[in-house]
């Protein structure tokens, strides 16, 4: 009776309101994180994703080219103070080989990701960018190498880099300080993101789900920051403890919460590129499928050489460390097809 009354009386659900306003209140976020109307939330997020991108899933070939890092983020397995990390760098030749193999397999976006490794001067990075864009002019090149000066970002852009991934990690000042040592600041992280956008990069921000100290309020701050920044991509995945970090004994984030947040982000930023991350696939064998069915539309398989895969251990039990790139993409194609989507081989630009 009550439901009928509400329908006739013009009742609209919380989810319809979020979709219409492209905004969310703290109370609405709390309500959805408690698991209310989970099916309808996914349904709407999926419909919005389909309206813009259809059933196409974009692929990005991730090349983890160095695990040296000058930073000491408490959550990250390749932090400077982790003496047990087996450090490596890929040579330019190895990186080019990854791209060649990736291109053969249909990749048209390459992502160079690494720790903040002083070995790679701006000059070296620019040289790499030119080599990759010279040999694969029809591909997009993404960098994910942390915080740099505006001048460095400008130089990389001029050399041909198209996109930059820099998760903001958390948009809450107090929370940011609890995840990072003193020399790192949210202010600088945000400044970097603004510079990147201003220069003309397609930019990706994002955060970990369930990181220690995260609350509904810090997540609310994340969502409002994302609305304000309006990035082209948002990377979110569960926090997963790594055994050699200060957060070794903290609890991991959950699939349900990650999936809920993916859907919410799809409703707030309808056109955004939203990866179903490797971390999501790590905490649940069907995690990436669940993400895609909740509004995500990107997957980022690993193109790094097999010999280094286990060494890029941001967190424990990472999947796909024992497979070749070709096996990974074959497996993913099957998984994506099974849920009614298909992988497309183009740059997968923001629409
Ligand atoms: N140095 C680069 C790349 C960092 S690695 C940069 O600063 O942007 C890419 C992302 O992995 C990070 O932004 C972080 O959100 C995520 N990450 C790091 N440690 C993690 C962990 N223990 N669990 C889940 N994700 C993690």
DSSP class per residue in 233-256: EEEEEE----TTSTTTTSPPP-HH
Rounded Cα–Cα distance for residues 88 and 308 (Å): 7
Q: Pick the residue whose CA is nearest to atom 19 on ligand 1.
A: 76
The CA-atom distances, in angstroms, between 137 and each of 71, 99, 129, 147 are: 33, 12, 11, 26
Pocket probe for ligand 1: among 76, 239, 300, the residue whose CB has the most ligand atoms within 8 Å is 76
Pocket probe for ligand 1: among 315, 316, 317, 319, the residue whose CB has the most ligand atoms within 8 Å is 315
Indicate the average pLDDT of the chain: 96
Q: Which atom of ligand 1 is nearest to the CA of 247?
A: 22
pLDDT at 63 over 60: yes
Share of residues in the chain with pLDDT > 70 (%): 97
pLDDT given at position 99: 98
Average pLDDT over residues 77-86: 98
> Cα of 125 to ligand 1 centre, how many Å?
20
Q: Is 298 helix (H, G, I), strand (E, B) or coil?
A: strand
Task: Report the sign of the C-alpha dihedral through residues 289, 292, 296, 298, in that order.
Answer: positive
Identify the residue with better confidence: 63 or 12. Answer: 63
| Lateral strand order in the sheet of 109-114 | 61-66, 109-114, 140-144, 163-165, 202-209, 233-238
pLDDT given at position 54: 97
Q: Pick the residue whose CA is nearest to atom 13 on ligand 1.
A: 167
Whether the CB-CB separation of 122 and 155 falls below 8 Å is answered with: yes
Q: Which residues does ligand 1 sit against, CB inside 6 Å?
A: 75-76, 113, 115-116, 144-146, 166-167, 169, 208, 237, 239-240, 242, 279, 314-315
pLDDT given at position 205: 98
CATH of domain 53-344: 3.20.20.70
Q: Pick the residue whose CA is nearest to atom 7 on ligand 1.
A: 146
> Cα of 76 to ligand 1 centre, how many Å?
6
Q: Which atom of ligand 1 is nearest to the CA of 167?
A: 13
> Cα of 225 to ligand 1 centre, how many Å?
19
Average pLDDT over residues 266-293: 98
> Cα of 78 to ligand 1 centre, how many Å?
9
pLDDT at 232 over 60: yes
Whether the CB-CB separation of 229 and 193 falls below 8 Å is answered with: yes
> Cα of 158 to ligand 1 centre, how many Å?
26
pLDDT given at position 9: 53
> What confidence tier does 152 reach under pLDDT thresholds 50, 70, 90?
very high
Tens-digit pLDDT profile for residues 125-135: 999 999 999 99
The CA-atom distances, in angstroms, between 159 and each of 152, 185, 206, 213 are: 11, 28, 25, 39
pLDDT at 281 over 80: yes
pLDDT given at position 7: 54
Q: Which atom of ligand 1 is nearest to the CA of 206?
A: 15
> Cα of 1 to ligand 1 centre, how many Å?
49
Does the predicted model carry a pTM greater than 0.85? Answer: yes
pLDDT given at position 12: 81
> Cα of 348 to ligand 1 centre, how many Å?
23
pLDDT at 182 over 60: yes
> What confidence tier does 41 reach under pLDDT thresholds 50, 70, 90?
very high
pLDDT at 6 over 60: no
Average pLDDT over residues 285-290: 98
The structural domains of the chain, with segments of one domain joined by +, span 53-344
The single-letter DSSP state of residue 128 is H
Q: Pick the residue whose CA is nearest to atom 12 on ligand 1.
A: 167
Decide the pairing of beta strands 140-144 and 298-299.
unpaired
> Cα of 52 to ligand 1 centre, how many Å?
28
Whether the CB-CB separation of 328 and 302 falls below 8 Å is answered with: yes
Give residue for tokens 């439901």. 3
The single-letter DSSP state of residue 113 is E
Average pLDDT over residues 249-275: 98
> Cα of 182 to ligand 1 centre, how many Å?
18
Residues 6+ apart with CB under 8 A from 270: 22, 48, 51, 52
């Amino acid at each position: 009776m009550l439901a009928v009354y509400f329908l006739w009386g013009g009742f609209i659900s919380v989810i319809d309101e979020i979709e219409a306003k492209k905004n969310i209140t703290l109370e609405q976020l709390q309500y959805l994180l408690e698991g209310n109307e989970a099916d309808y939330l996914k349904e709407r997020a999926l419909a919005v994703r389909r309206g813009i991108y259809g059933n196409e899933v974009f692929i990005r070939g991730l090349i983890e080219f160095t695990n040296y890092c000058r930073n000491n983020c408490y959550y990250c397995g390749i932090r400077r103070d982790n003496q047990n990390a087996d450090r490596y760098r890929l040579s330019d030749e190895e990186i080019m080989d990854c791209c060649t193999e990736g291109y053969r397999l249909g990749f048209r976006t390459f992502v160079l990701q690494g720790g903040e490794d002083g070995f790679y001067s701006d000059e070296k990075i620019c040289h790499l960018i030119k080599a990759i864009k010279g040999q694969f002019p029809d591909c997009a090149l993404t960098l994910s190498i942390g915080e740099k000066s505006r001048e460095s970002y400008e130089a990389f852009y001029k050399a041909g880099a198209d996109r930059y991934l820099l998760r903001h990690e958390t948009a809450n000042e107090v929370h940011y300080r609890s995840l990072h040592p003193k020399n790192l600041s949210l202010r600088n992280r945000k400044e970097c993101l603004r510079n990147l956008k201003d220069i003309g990069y397609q930019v990706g921000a994002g955060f970990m789900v369930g990181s220690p100290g995260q609350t509904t309020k810090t997540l609310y701050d994340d969502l409002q920051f994302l609305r304000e920044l309006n990035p082209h991509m948002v990377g979110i995945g569960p926090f997963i403890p790594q055994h050699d970090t200060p957060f070794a004994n903290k609890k991991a984030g959950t699939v349900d919460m990650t999936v809920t947040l993916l859907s919410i982000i799809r409703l707030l930023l309808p056109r955004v590129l939203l990866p179903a991350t490797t971390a999501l696939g790590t905490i649940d064998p069907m995690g990436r499928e669940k993400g895609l069915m909740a509004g995500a539309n990107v997957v980022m398989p690993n193109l790094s050489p097999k010999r280094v895969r286990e060494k890029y251990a941001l967190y424990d039990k990472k999947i796909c460390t024992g497979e070749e790139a070709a096996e990974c993409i074959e497996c993913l194609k099957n998984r994506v097809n099974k849920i009614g989507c298909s992988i497309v081989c183009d740059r997968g630009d923001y629409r």
